[in-house]
Every structure is written in C-alpha cells, then in structure tokens.
Amino acid sequence: MRVSELAETAEAVAATSSRLAKTDALARLLTRAEPDEIPVITGLLLAAPRQGRLGVGRRGIAALDVPHAAEPTLTIADVDHVLEELVGASGSGSAAVRTG
C-alpha cells in the first residue's frame, strides 16, 4: 500500500467530526491493507511506530529538505524499513543516519 493512501485517510479522519465517517474511512484503509501492513499503519496513525522511540524529533524531520515526488511511490513497507534503520542506528555516525 502506498503511504499516500494512509495520508489521504488521515486527512479525511481529521476533517470530519463524525465518528461513523472516521470509522468507515479507517475500516476501508485497513481492509485494503496487506495483513503485515496493519501493525505498521496502526502505529503510524497513532504516532506510535511499532519500532518504539526513534530518536528523531519533529524539528529534525521538518528540517529535512526532500523534494516531492511527481507521483506517489513510497510504500508502507518502505517507511517501515527506514524506521527499522533509524532504530538500529547507534554509535559513531548514528546522527548522520537520523538526519539523512
């Protein structure tokens, strides 16, 4: 599943006050997801990734200068893999891994 689908769903959930609409949007997202993506998606939606504490704050993420892709290609698996790398980074050079 593409991260853009997750982002669109998160925006739809934030844009409505209807609990039924929120539940419906989340149910549609999770129904389309592969079983192994569900824990990753859930963690991202709750701002609690399955990897736990990443050692990267909002300020560090906001400081990244990454160009937007012409077409959405980033997948949930891609994000999960990068988060695994962040958590595994330690020692000399770990700050460089965390800041791109």
The pLDDT tens digits of the residues spanning 36-88 come to: 999 999 999 998 877 767 666 667 666 667 788 889 999 999 988 888 887 76
- Report the domain count for the chain: 1
- Picking from 19, 26, 18, 72, the residue whose alpha carbon sits closest to that of residue 46 is 26
What is the structure's pLDDT at 67? 80
Predicted model pTM:
0.73
Cβ contacts of residue 51 below 8 Å, gap of 6+? 43, 83, 84, 86, 87
Q: What are phi and psi of 75, to 5 degrees?
A: -105, 165
Check residues 92 and 2 and name the one with the higher pLDDT: 2
The predicted structure's pLDDT at residue 98: 47
- Please give the residue that has the higher pLDDT: either 92 or 82: 82
Distance between terminal CA atoms of the chain? Answer: 24
Structural domain harbouring 92: 3-98
User: Tens digit of pLDDT for each residue in 4-42?
Assistant: 999 999 999 999 999 999 999 999 999 999 999 999 999
For residue 87, what pLDDT is reported? Answer: 74
